[in-house]
Structures are given as structure tokens and as C-alpha cells.
Structure 1
Amino acid sequence: MLNQKLIALLPDLASFILVVNEGSFTGAARKLGVTPSALSKTITRLESALNVKLFERTTRKLIITQAGLKVFDQSVLMVNAAQQAVDLSLSDHSEPSGTLTVAAPEAFLNSVLQPFVLPFLKQYPEIQLKLRAADGNIDLLKMGIDIAFKLTDKPDELLVLKKVGETNLVLCASPAYISEHGTPLTPQDLEHHDCLYLAETETDNIWDFFKGDEFYTIPVHGRYAVNHSQMRLQGVKEGLGIGIFHDFVIGEALEKGEVIQVLTDWTLKSNYHGDIALQYPQSKYIPARLRVFIDYVMATLPSKLARASS
């Protein structure tokens, strides 16, 4: 049974989650329609009720404490359960509705999802869709994400997995660059070329190549590195060097002859190589808006991706 103290804390816990997600009292207060000082008093009241310090407050930063992290994790589970109860009460509606938050890597979001989701929104006018660019490992619950696309050969085992397709990495250069600098015939040849890479981590300029039993790890260099696929593609088109791309990003430019693929007989691997996975938290109840989105993706996207990579 819920006691009165817990019932009184529920709104404050929800406000606490919003402060953590926004990273500031100002941002959270704006969304709640209250003043930052009023929200600060709410968190102080919550700290007093729980007898823990949730934040370290400075003039520049708001840092969640270790105790605050534990409270946050449990609060998220509680709010998600409350949301499921609300969704269940609305499930008899004929039209799926509500907000659906979808995360995907930047390159996939721009090249695949942006045009893909527009027909979905027209088909389901009562659904509000939020798309977030999110590369690398993400915590769906903490970030308030309903479902995520991941490019990986190591999906999260704690989440439900639906394989949408596969993605390969492609090396390309402009015809002008190849004409001036020549075509690399082996991975080792890249050490004598300008290369465009992601520049997200310290190892993004280390490329692994496979062909049968052969394996090479090649450190590449270049004057231009950027973790935005379209900016990197533009750099390659302008002749700045040899760039690395997902097949769904580079397919159109290859068809138009704007770029030329190199080292076609080698397989290139990175952190974003392998399956295109659709993942979401396990639950006995799936909201209608999430269910229709999954069905839409699985019915439409695999064939589109297969055409893009062929």
C-alpha cells in the first residue's frame, strides 16, 4: 500500500528527473512553467524528505551526487511504470497517440530516418515524434528514450533486439583526387594519402582491414577530420582526401559518379560496423505508439536499406 508520504513525494521525484535530464534548474523550470527558485525549493524539500543530498550546487555547475544517482535510477523506473499505466488506460483508443522518443546515430538519422519518418507521421497524426542524434552507448531509461537504432555487432543484451539490416563501411575519394594522387591498391598505401575520419575518439584514425586471413591495422592522417557524415562527404567531394562512410550515406554519391570507391576487396571495421539494430526496454506492455512504430520500421526499412547497400 502507498503511504501518504510517498504519494506527496511523487511530483517532486518527477521534477527531480527533469532537472537531471536538463542539467539545470533553469531548463527544467522552463519546461515545468515555474521559476528556477521555486524548483530549487522543490528539490530542497525532496532532499529533506529523503534525508539525502541530491546535488552539489556551484555557481557554474549542477552535479548529481552518488546518492542522487541511486534515487534517479529508481525514480525513472517509477515514472516509466506510471507512464505505462497511463498508456494502458488509453489503449482502447482507436488511434495510437502520445510522444515517442527515438534515438539514432547522426549519420543514420540524416541519411535514413529523416525522409523515412515523414510518411509515418502522416499515417499516425496523433503521435508526436522526437528524434535525437545519439552516437555510441546510450542509456535509454536515463535519457528518456523509448527506442533506439544502433549500428553495432555487439547489441545490448538487456534490451529487446530487432535486426533491421546490416551496414558496411566504404572508402571513397573524388575522381579529381584519384587523378592527382593515384588509387591506393593496399591498406598500407593509405599512409601516403590524406584521409578524412570521424575524430570522435582517439582511435578513430586507426582503421582495421580484413581480407580472408589477412589483417592490417593502419593509422591514417589528414588535414580534415569531422564527426558529421555530410560534412565529411562534402570534404571528399571537394578533393580533400579519402573518406570513410556507411554504405547508406555514400550510395547516392557513388551512383552519380561524384565519388569513387577504393580498396573494394577489403573489409573495413570500426565501432559502428555490423548490424542495424532496433532496441528498446523489455516490458510486458508495449504502448500502441511504440508498437506501430516497430511494425512500420520492420515492414518498410529493411528493403530500403538492402537497396541502399546493393
Structure 2
Amino acid sequence: MINPKLLSLLPDLAAFILVVNEGSFTAAAKQLGVTPSALSKLITRLEHALSVKLFERTTRKLIITQAGQRVYEQSVVMVNAAQQAIESSNSDHSEPAGSLTVAAPEAFLNSVLQPFVVPFLNQYPEIQLKLRAADGDIDIFKQGIDVAFRLTDKPDESLVLKELGKTNLVLCASPEYLESNTIPSHPTDLIQHDCIYLAETDRDHIWDFLKDDEFHTVAVKGRYAVNHSQMRLNGVKSGLGIGIFHDFVIQDALEEGSVVQVLSDWNIKSNYHGAIAMQFAQTKYMPARLRVFIDYAMEHLSDKLATDE
């Protein structure tokens, strides 16, 4: 039997989810069309009803408490189930429609998903597609993401996995750069070269190489670093140094001869290589817009990304 108290709390719990997702009362209130003070009072009322403190409020930050995190996780499940129930009732007799949020690493988004977008939206004119470049960890529930693409050997085991192929990392330089510099024959030779790396983390200039049982870690250096794959590729083509790229990023440049692979007999190890994984939450009632996106991606991307083992 449904507790009448639960019914009265459902709108407040939905508002609480929005505050957590937006990270502030101001941003959430704007979406709800209310004032921040009214929303703050609503959350206070919810805290009293649940007998828990949901947030630690300071002048600069809104920090969710441990109890608040537990309430949030259960509330998301409940609200998502309600949303799925609504959508399932419409899915059999309506055109796929609504908003779909997809996250992927920047390089994958630019090189693989970008050509995919226009044909997909033309085929499904009632779907609104939101793409997010996300190179770090992705929490699809907390970030409101429907589908996440990952380049990894360790996909999230709590999510459904559709593997689209494999990706490897390729070390390359321009022919002009190699004409003016000694061609590396061993990973340690890179110490003497200009290398172009991401510069996102303190370890991005540390490159790991593996061949059979031989493993080498090399701290590279260079005059140019940028966390954008196309800009790094332009730098390599311009002769600024040697760079590492995913195979789907560099394939065209290799075929046209504007770059040349070096140390091809070595495997480059990274957190961002392995399976090309498309992941989404397990659900009994999948919205039509999500189902058609997954099917479209499997049909149009699998052949393009598949590589021999």
C-alpha cells in the first residue's frame, strides 16, 4: 500500500534531485521558475519530513551530506522509474521524441560521432540530441546522461555494455620532422625529441610502452601541449613534435601521408584505450528515443570501428 506521505514528498524529492544536479539553489530555482529562497524553504521542509540533513550550506558551497547522498540515489531511481512508466505508455504509438544526452571523450566525439549526428537527427526529427565532451570519469546518473561512450579496458560493470570495437594508440610525427631529427628506434629515444602531450594531469607527459615482456616508462618533454586532439594533430603535422593519437583520429592523416607512424612495434598503454564501449543504465522500460539511438549507433558505428584482434 502506498504511504500518503510519500505522495506528498514526490515533488520535493524531484526538486531535491535538481538542486544536486545543478549544484546550487539559484540554478535549480531558475529551471523550476521559483525564487532561490522558496526552493531553499522547500528543501528545509523536506529535511524536516525525512528527519535528515541533506546539505551543508556555506556562503560559497552547497555540499551534500552522506545522508543526503543516500536520499539522492534512491530518489533518482524512483523518479527515473516514474519517467520510464510515462514513456513506456507512449512508446508503442508515437514517434521517438524528447531529449537525449550523450557523453563521449573529446577525440571520439569529434572524429567518430560528429559525422553521425546529422543523419541521425534527420531520421528522427522529434529527438533533441545533447552531446557532451567528457574525458574524465562519467557518472551517468548524477550527470543526467543517457548514453556514455568510453575508451577503456574496464567498463562500468553496473551499466549495460555494447562494445563497438577496439581502439589502439598510435605514435606519429610528420615526414618533415623525421627528416630533420633522428628517427626513434626505442621508446627511450623520445627523451631527445620534442613531444606533444595533453597537459591535463601531472602524468600526461609520462608515456608507457610495452613489447612482449619489455616495459618502459618515458618522461617526455616538448614546447607544445594541448588537451585537444585536433590541435595536437595540427601541431604534429606542422612539425612541432611527436604525438600520440587514437587510431580513429589519425587514420586519415596516415593514409594521406601527412604523418608517419613511429615505434610501430611497441604498444602504448593508457587509461584511454581498449574497448570502445557504449554504456547505459539497465531499464525494464527503455524510452523509444534511447532505443533508436542505441540501434542506430550499433548499425552505423560497429563496422567503422571494428578492428582485428
TM-score strictly above 0.5: yes
Q: Secondary structure at the match of 2:249?
A: helix
Q: Secondary structure at the match of 1:250?
A: helix
Per-residue deviation at 1:77?
0.7
Per-residue deviation at 1:306?
4.2
Partner of 1:103: 103
Q: Secondary structure at the match of 2:279?
A: strand
Moved more, 290-299 or 128-137: 128-137
Amino acid at match of 2:179: S
Amino acid at match of 1:13: L
User: Contact 2:165–2:305 at 8 Å: present in 1 too?
Assistant: yes
How is 1:74-223 mapped onto 2 (pairs within 5 angstroms)? 74-223=74-223
Q: Secondary structure at the match of 2:185?
A: coil
Q: Could you tell me how far apart the structure 2 residues matched to 1:88 and 1:297 are?
A: 22
Partner of 1:39: 39
Q: Could you tell me how far apart the structure 2 residues matched to 1:101 and 1:221 are?
A: 37
Partner of 2:238: 238
CA deviation vs aligned residue, 1:97-139 (integer Å, no higher than 9, x gap): 1221111111111111112121111111111111111223322
Q: Could you tell me how far apart the structure 1 residues matched to 2:214 and 2:230 are?
A: 31
Amino acid at match of 1:92: D
User: Contact 2:172–2:243 at 8 Å: present in 1 too?
Assistant: yes
Moved more, 271-280 or 20-29: 20-29
Q: Secondary structure at the match of 1:161?
A: strand
CA deviation vs aligned residue, 1:205-233 (integer Å, no higher than 9, x gap): 22221223332222222222222212222
Amino acid at match of 1:217: T
Amino acid at match of 2:171: L
Q: Could you tell me how far apart the structure 1 residues matched to 2:92 and 2:59 are?
A: 49
Amino acid at match of 2:68: G
Give structure 2 stretches of 5+ with no counterpart: none
Q: Secondary structure at the match of 1:230?
A: helix
Moved more, 199-208 or 157-166: 199-208
CA deviation vs aligned residue, 1:148-199 (integer Å, no higher than 9, x gap): 1110111112211111011110112223322222211111101111211222
With the length of structure 2 as denominator, give the TM-score of the two structures. Answer: 0.94
Q: Could you tell me how far apart the structure 1 residues matched to 2:222 and 2:74 are?
A: 46
Q: Secondary structure at the match of 2:142?
A: helix
Partner of 1:276: 276
Report the count of equivalent residues: 308
Question: Cα RMSD (Å) of the superposition?
Answer: 1.7
Q: Secondary structure at the match of 1:100?
A: strand
Amino acid at match of 1:133: A
Moved more, 208-217 or 151-160: 208-217
Partner of 1:255: 255
Q: Could you tell me how far apart the structure 1 residues matched to 2:70 and 2:81 are?
A: 17
Q: Secondary structure at the match of 1:142?
A: coil
CA deviation vs aligned residue, 1:4-53 (integer Å, no higher than 9, x gap): 22111111111111111111112112222222222222212211211222
Is 1:49–2:55 an aligned residue pair? Answer: no
Partner of 2:12: 12
Is 1:72–2:33 an aligned residue pair? Answer: no
Q: Secondary structure at the match of 2:276?
A: strand
Amino acid at match of 1:264: S
Q: Could you tell me how far apart the structure 1 residues matched to 2:35 and 2:217 are?
A: 54
Identity among equivalent positions (%) equals 74
User: Contact 2:104–2:149 at 8 Å: present in 1 too?
Assistant: yes
Give structure 1 stretches of 5+ with no counterpart: none
